[in-house]
Amino acid sequence: MLLRSLTADNFRNLASAEVAFHPRINILVGLNGQGKTNLLEAIYFLATTKSFRTARVASLFRFGSPSVFVSGALQREVEKTLSVGLEHGESKKRVLLINGERTPLATYVSAMTVFAYSSARLEILRGAPEERRRFLDRGIASVDPGYLEQVSRYARVLRQRNALLHSGTTAGLDAWDSELAETAAVLQSARAAYGEALTGAFNDIVAAHRYRVGNMVIAYRPSAVGDLKSIRREELRARMSLVGPQRDLLDFTVDGRTASEVLSGGEMKMIVLFLKFAKLELFRRRFDEAALFLLDDVDAELDLQILENLLAKMPPETQVFATSAKARFLQVLEAAPHRRLTIENGVVTTAEDL
């Protein structure tokens, strides 16, 4: 899986020009605020229609622009063109294209898989439970393209059931109870299986690099649906569903305590890095190929020796895109064939293969 090139229109400060990439290592350099992270974000947006930096998609639009559009040439068995466009304002229209043809979301996001690490975003450990559920769901979707359809189906059922509960009526609730239980079971089964696989891959990576942060445990705790009639009075009072995947928890603990309360900032960054490499490994096992990997703002709090070893053990065909202010980290990447892209005010001014 290789991203040959990318073109972004009205995406943050990026210039509307095609950027060609190296098949192995791409190093983005430039002063702060010039657009290095924006280019990584555009790659992530092309693959997922989301941002790895913010939940506010509106922030991706260039100031004053009514729309944003990103397209790219992807090589995966055959070469294909991916395109995603969004309109601003009330319509928020989204258009997804593969080779110029409209494509459903589940099909589109399965075409290109990207994992992103950013040292500035530690919501996986210290953020709200929703962030951890999203982290789990994105991992599942990377190895099971049909999972997003199940997520959408559950969301529709939940909306309908919540609407009835909010109205205070019980008419029709029995049917929606059955739908909720059925769709919830599919999601929670997938989450439990992926959580177990992720834990195994994570522990293997941590042990291989002899990284010690105490007894680290990743625990998935589903919000069991059970007998909904037994809690109907409470749900009618709350005017919403009180159980189901929307209330699942993914806990990270160290020696029995919440990880974010025990670990230092540097330790949390390392744990998140290990989790990303675990996701990469699970994807490789599933498809026998490498996903794209984005490394943004690698800083001094990471153990660069461990990161160097992690990168060295990745499948050789893994395409990497990286930014960092750490000269030593860049030197590690520069030991392999690579392209150095210099970015100034959203424009790639030079692209040098070394």
Q: What is the pLDDT of residues 190-224, one digit of tens each?
A: 999 999 999 999 999 999 998 888 888 999 999 99
Place of tokens 């959580």: 195
| The model scores a pTM over 0.75 | yes
Cα–Cα nearest to 11, from 55, 43, 33: 43
Judged against a pLDDT cut of 90, whether residue 157 lies above it is answered with yes
Which DSSP helix (H) or strand (E) runs through 306? helix 304-312
Cα 314–318–324 angle (5° rounding)? 85
Q: Please give the pLDDT value at position 44.
A: 96
Judged against a pLDDT cut of 90, whether residue 320 lies above it is answered with yes
Q: Which has more confidence, 83 or 308?
A: 83
Kindly report the backbone phi and psi dihedral angles of residue 253, in degrees, each rounded to the nearest multiple of 5, phi listed first.
Answer: -125, 155
Q: Please give the pLDDT value at position 330.
A: 82
**How confident is the prediction for the chain on average, in pLDDT?**
92
Judged against a pLDDT cut of 80, whether residue 296 lies above it is answered with yes
Tell me the mean pLDDT in the region 103-123.
Answer: 90
Q: Are the C-beta atoms of 324 and 297 separated by less than 8 Å?
A: yes
Place of tokens 């990745």: 314
Two structure tokens written together for 211: 């990284």
Q: Please give the pLDDT value at position 119.
A: 77
Of the chain, the end-to-end C-alpha distance in Å amounts to: 22
Q: CA–CA separation, 13 vs 343, rounded Å? A: 11
Q: Please give the pLDDT value at position 90.
A: 65
**Which range among 126-135, 153-162, 235-244, 329-338 shows the weakest confidence by mean pLDDT?**
329-338
Q: CA–CA separation, 97 vs 74, rounded Å? A: 13
Tell me the mean pLDDT in the region 224-248.
Answer: 96
